[in-house]
């Protein structure tokens, strides 16, 4: 399973190093950011969105202490957040961008599968698996971010 995870992650990272894919992702990310800023400005100007609209427990802190800082659930949240980000980018990418996103989704599914397997491992093996999964997930997140920002591959 570790080999499949490494292969899927490596494939996604290789695709993110393609200049055309990176350019499409950069355009999609910029367009998405502009639309999000416009949406936020529209809400703020209509009075629908302001800090005073938030419930008191959310107004004081952006950090929810009930969320785990480490472990299985944190890794699962990272996967879901990256998946949600890619879902936002999907309509913005062209046909060749869709193939790239499919590879990234494939890598995420491998990570999900690895997390499911790790969940039932004994503590020492689970922690080791979590470290490996976290590294692969970090590599994938970094590659997506670099592509979105238009940075050249390392």
| Residue 27 counted as domain residue | yes
| 122 found inside a domain | yes
How many domains does one find in the chain? 1
Residue 140, in any domain of the structure:
yes
In a domain, 126, yes or no: yes
Q: 47 pLDDT exceeds 90?
A: no
- Asked if residue 137 belongs to a domain, the reply is yes
Decide if 101 is inside a domain. yes
In the predicted model, is pLDDT for residue 147 greater than 50? yes
Q: Is residue 80 part of a domain?
A: yes
Predicted pLDDT at 36:
84
Name the percent of the chain in helix, strand, coil, to the closest 5: 80, 0, 20
Residue 127: which domain range?
2-45+72-149
For 88-145, what is each residue's pLDDT tens digit? 877 665 655 677 778 888 999 999 999 999 999 999 999 999 999 999 999 998 888 8
The more confidently predicted of residues 18 and 63 is 18
Q: Is the dihedral of CA 128, 129, 135, 138 positive or negative?
A: negative
Residue 59 counted as domain residue:
no
């Amino acid at each position: 399973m570790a080999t499949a995870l490494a292969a899927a992650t490596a494939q996604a990272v290789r695709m993110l190093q393609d200049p055309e894919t990176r350019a499409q992702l950069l355009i999609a990310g910029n367009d998405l950011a502009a639309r999000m800023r416009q949406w936020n400005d529209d809400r703020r100007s209509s009075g629908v969105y302001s800090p005073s609209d938030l419930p008191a427990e959310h107004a004081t802190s952006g950090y929810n202490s009930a969320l785990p800082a480490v472990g299985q659930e944190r890794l699962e949240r990272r996967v879901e957040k990256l998946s949600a980000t890619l879902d936002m980018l999907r309509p913005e990418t062209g046909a060749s961008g869709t193939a790239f996103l499919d590879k990234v989704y494939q890598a995420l599914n491998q990570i999900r599968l690895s997390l499911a397997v790790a969940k039932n491992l004994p503590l020492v093996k689970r922690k080791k698996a979590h470290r490996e999964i976290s590294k692969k997930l970090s590599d994938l997140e970094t590659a997506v971010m670099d592509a979105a920002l238009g940075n050249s591959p390392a």
